[in-house]
Amino acid sequence: MRSIHTTVLLKETVDALNLKPGMIVVDATLGGGGHALEVLKKIGTKGKLIAFDRDLDAIDRFKKRIEVGSDVLSDENIELFHDNYSSLKDRLTSVDIFSVDAILADLGISSDQLADEKRGISFQGDAPLDMRMNLNEGITAADVVNTYAEQDLIRILKEFGDEQYAHSIVRNVVIQRAEKPLTRTSELVELIERSVPGMYKRKKLHCATKTFQALRIEVNQELKTLDLFLAQAIEMLRPGGRLAIITFHSGEDALVKYTLRENARGCICPPEFPVCRCQKKQFVNIITRKPIVPSDEEIAENPRARSAKLRIAEKV
């Protein structure tokens, strides 16, 4: 089955990496493969693409796309890992790669995953309340809503979803699960609709959007793995190598922004110190003081791109 995903900020991201033939490049979130295919065109048959995805279906789709696609130069210079990008350093060193020329990560959920009924990521339709990127490991969204303490659920909905009606939604979850565990996405959507006021349901953004986002982030530990990945990505880049990250959620963007700023700072000793005592070194230069966002034309063609933000840094 071919990917139905539309790649966000494709040209802007690939151009920002300053790719040249023969480079070693990591696509940390393969997804629909749009960025990866453009990278392959840039680095040519002498280059190497290393791609990661927790979703085995995404890797299988990309393999088939390489086999039938006329827009790929070669498939001999590709390494595909069915793994979380938080394993970046271990996976690279396992194939004797100790530094790379560029790294990109698109943190958005692909249209393929949203359309995959067995995952239950979308609030549209009826599916198992799962939400795992890797269906072979980890807890499900059903585990979260049926076993987490009330205060933990409220915290997740507020912190990861910015859900203003977290208290009323969670209160009804606790009442519902005492009678019968929630196991289907349609059950959770119906519960959310009963938990929020009418005007909230009439807004352009579906009233279940924030809750589903928050649960997905918790199930897949997305902020924790992003934090682990960023440290490894900066370490594994060669001097002059570039890191490009596309975020879609305010929590993700805040973490990326903070991490890049911290790694762009050098000595923090007071000016009166004759010599540096903190030993803090600068590791990157920030290329994008303000994030790059999609054009109006791209948003019109792909509304899911509207919240995307691209940040770029270069290893010193």
What are the domain boundaries of the chain? 10-112+222-315, 134-219
Query: What is the value of pTM for the model shown?
Result: 0.90
Residue 156's nearest CA partner among 177, 143, 176, 170 is 170
Q: In a 3-state reduction of DSSP, which class is residue 222?
A: helix
d(CA 82, CA 130): 19
Look up residue 129 and give its two tokens: 């309340």
d(CA 308, CA 232): 23
Q: What is the CA radius of gyration of the chain?
A: 21
Q: Give me the helices (H) in the chain, please.
A: 10-16, 34-43, 56-68, 88-94, 111-115, 141-147, 150-161, 166-179, 185-195, 198-201, 209-219, 222-236, 250-264, 296-301
Residue 45's nearest CA partner among 13, 72, 66 is 72
d(CA 262, CA 284): 9
Please report, in tens digits, the pLDDT of each residue of the chain (316 residues total).
555 678 999 999 999 999 999 999 999 999 999 999 999 999 998 999 999 999 998 999 998 888 755 455 555 789 999 999 999 999 999 999 999 999 999 998 877 777 777 788 889 889 999 999 988 899 999 999 999 999 999 999 999 999 999 999 999 999 999 999 999 999 999 999 999 999 998 888 899 999 999 999 999 999 999 999 999 999 999 999 999 999 999 999 999 999 999 999 987 788 878 788 777 789 999 999 999 999 999 999 998 899 999 999 999 9
Task: Say which residue the tokens 């927790």 belong to.
Answer: 54
Q: In a 3-state reduction of DSSP, which class is residue 166?
A: helix
Q: What region, left, alpha or beta, does residue 310 occupy, with left being phi > 0 and alpha being psi -120 to 50 degrees?
A: beta
d(CA 281, CA 283): 6
Burial call 183-221: b when 16+ CB within 10 Å, e when fewer: bebbbbbebbeebbeeeeeeeeeebbebbbbbbbbbbbe
Residue 109's nearest CA partner among 219, 257, 198 is 219
Helix (H) or strand (E) holding 312: strand 309-315
The topology (CATH level 3) of 134-219 is DNA polymerase; domain 1 (1.10.150)
The topology (CATH level 3) of 10-112+222-315 is Rossmann fold (3.40.50)
Q: Which amino acid is at 186?
A: S
pLDDT of residue 73: 53
d(CA 245, CA 257): 10
List Cα–Cα distances, 256 to 50, 92, 223, 228, 230, in angstroms: 22, 22, 10, 11, 8
d(CA 90, CA 107): 21
d(CA 253, CA 256): 5
pLDDT of residue 70: 47
Please tell me the chain's helix, strand, coil percentages from 3-state DSSP, rounded to the nearest 5: 45, 15, 40
